Amino acid sequence: MATRLPPPRRIVTSNLSLPASVAGLKNPEPVVEVLVQDVAQLQELDGDAFRGTVFTHEAVPTNNDGSDVTPREPSSHGIVFPTGANIRYNDVAPGKCVPMHRTQSTDYNIFLNGEVYLITPAEAGAGDSTLKLKETLCRPGDVVCQRGTLHSWENRSSEWVRWIVVILGAEPTTVEVEGKDEKIQIKDFFGKYGSDDIWEGLVEK
């Protein structure tokens, strides 16, 4: 069995309070605190996947005041801060998949280790297993910009795969209707974790 990847590290820099004796100087500079720590990894898919939060922002522009760099959890209990950002690692075991899902976000997936297939609809239709699918192989160094689209991840290799994702809150996802002056909102979907079937347990939110 393939060995799991080691815990990723996060290195966070913060400006510390400025001494009063320095505040009056021209162009004063504070001491920079450098925090180095392993990212806590949380188990998903019965141990076939792990995630770890690097940093979160409840709003953009962000606030760099102070040195409290504890990651927060979205109030919706999902992965999206509607007006902010969630930066996290994803690890998926060999031969496993992440079920079909979509969130109201723009996601930048940056691949670091291993290869994984991005699975997306190749034709319009009902959101179920009758859809024709397209496969795109993602390799280390690739960046996938996910713009509110339905997708799944499949690791068909013999090694663990790891990528980091920057999840930005987005406006509700809408698509135009061909030949009409009309748009339809595309809702969130979440597959059933713990299933090898990318469609099993798909539910509309």
Domain-embedded: residue 44: yes
Domain-embedded: residue 184: yes
Number of domains in the chain: 1
Domain that holds residue 92: 31-204
Helices (H) and strands (E) in the chain, counts: 1, 16
Domain-embedded: residue 12: no
* Helix, strand, coil % in the chain, rounded to nearest 5: 5, 45, 55
pTM: 0.88
Calpha distance 157→41 (Å, rounded): 22
Domain-embedded: residue 141: yes
Domain-embedded: residue 143: yes
State the CB neighbour count (10 A cutoff) for residue 176. Answer: 10
Contact in structure between 60 and 168 (CB atoms under 8 Å) = yes
CATH code (residue 115): 2.60.120.10
Domain-embedded: residue 110: yes
Calpha distance 125→135 (Å, rounded): 17
Q: What distances in angstroms separate CA 198 from CA 52, 99, 163, one per listed residue? A: 22, 4, 19
Domain-embedded: residue 17: no
Structure confidence at residue 204 (pLDDT): 34
Q: pLDDT digit of tens for each residue in the chain (205 aa)?
A: 688 999 999 999 999 999 999 999 999 999 999 999 999 999 988 888 999 999 999 999 999 999 899 999 888 768 999 999 999 999 999 999 998 889 999 999 999 999 999 999 998 887 777 778 999 999 999 999 999 999 999 999 999 999 999 999 999 999 999 999 999 998 887 764 334 455 553 333 3
Structure confidence at residue 126 (pLDDT): 76
Calpha distance 198→194 (Å, rounded): 10
Domain-embedded: residue 11: no
